[in-house]
Structure 1
Amino acid sequence: MTETVNDRINAVLKHTGLKKYQFALKTGISNTFMSDVTLGKQKPSCVMLCGIANSFPKVDMNWVLTGSGEMLRKETPSNEENFCSNDLTVVVRTVELALQKAKINPSPDKRANLIAAAYDLYIHSNKPENTQPLIRLIASSAGG
């Protein structure tokens, strides 16, 4: 198992065969930030995670966030499915809103763990339209 989210992003980078600047361009981040992430100096941003989900649909974002499972999905989602990049965007926005409302600024590791846990809960709750319970859960988890 690849140990950190940074290590897993490096594995995705290697798998794509792209140069760092190309990967950065596809995922919507700066070259400097990409370099910092691959060197372990920074944790990936929400923009980067959503960019990976949108640009590389075969990559399993649960694996990127948690290390569980395999890097690649067995099947590529069809356009008709409510693909994970849309779900991840909802979750990331919900997490950020909850943290902002609670005036909490967790460490990057804790933020990534909150996003992963919220994503898992969201997916297993049949993608509820009302994210208020999720917001309350995130705020209480982040504060503790």
Structure 2
Amino acid sequence: MIERIKRVISHTGLSERAFAESIGVKQNTLNQQLKGERGLSLETITRILITYEIISAEWLLRGEGEMLKGKTPASTEKKVEKEFVVCVDENGYLKIKK
């Protein structure tokens, strides 16, 4: 999870100090957590998710999916286009012509 938090920091374009300030965590605390000198707190994780709502909690917590909400990998996107003609039969019912 630490590597994912580092990716979030990188994505914001902020320094670690500015990022810590943006989420309301002391810089020293965040630095110790990112170095593994201190356990990553639920408060830090929660503050990241509240401050940066675009970050996917599923991705941050479990490493699944995409970092940003609403983004899907291009490889799983499928665009399907189908054309058909709708007509009315002799009884007044709609029918689809292939």
Aligned letter for 1:21? R
Secondary structure of the structure 1 residue equivalent to 2:40 = coil
Percent identical residues = 28
Aligned to 1:45: 41
Aligned to 2:89: none
After TM superposition, list the pairs within 5 Å mapping 1:1-144 onto structure 2.
Answer: 5-74=1-70
Higher relative helix content:
1
The one of the two structures with greater contact order (alpha-carbon pairs below 8 A, sep at least 6) is: 1
Give, in whole Å, the separation in 1 of the partners of 2:2 and 2:38: 8
Q: Taking structure 1 as reference, are residues 20 and 45 closer, same or farther at Cα in structure 2, changes over 3 Å only?
A: same
Please report the TM-score for the alignment, with normalisation by the length of structure 1: 0.46
TM superposition shift of 1:41: 2.4
Give, in whole Å, the separation in 1 of the partners of 2:29 and 2:60: 17
What do you get for the CA RMSD once the two structures are aligned?
A: 1.4
Unaligned runs of 5+ in 1: 76-144
Please report the TM-score for the alignment, with normalisation by the length of structure 2: 0.65
Higher relative strand content:
2
Q: Taking structure 1 as reference, are residues 43 and 11 closer, same or farther at Cα in structure 2, changes over 3 Å only?
A: farther
For the 8 Å contact 1:29–1:48, the answer to whether it is kept is yes
TM superposition shift of 1:46: 1.6
Moved over 6 A (4+): none
Aligned letter for 1:44? L
- The superposition leaves residues 31-83 of structure 1 with CA deviations (integer Å, 9 ceiling, x where unpaired) of 111111222323321211111111101100111111011111117xxxxxxxx
Aligned letter for 2:45? L
Secondary structure of the structure 1 residue equivalent to 2:19 = helix
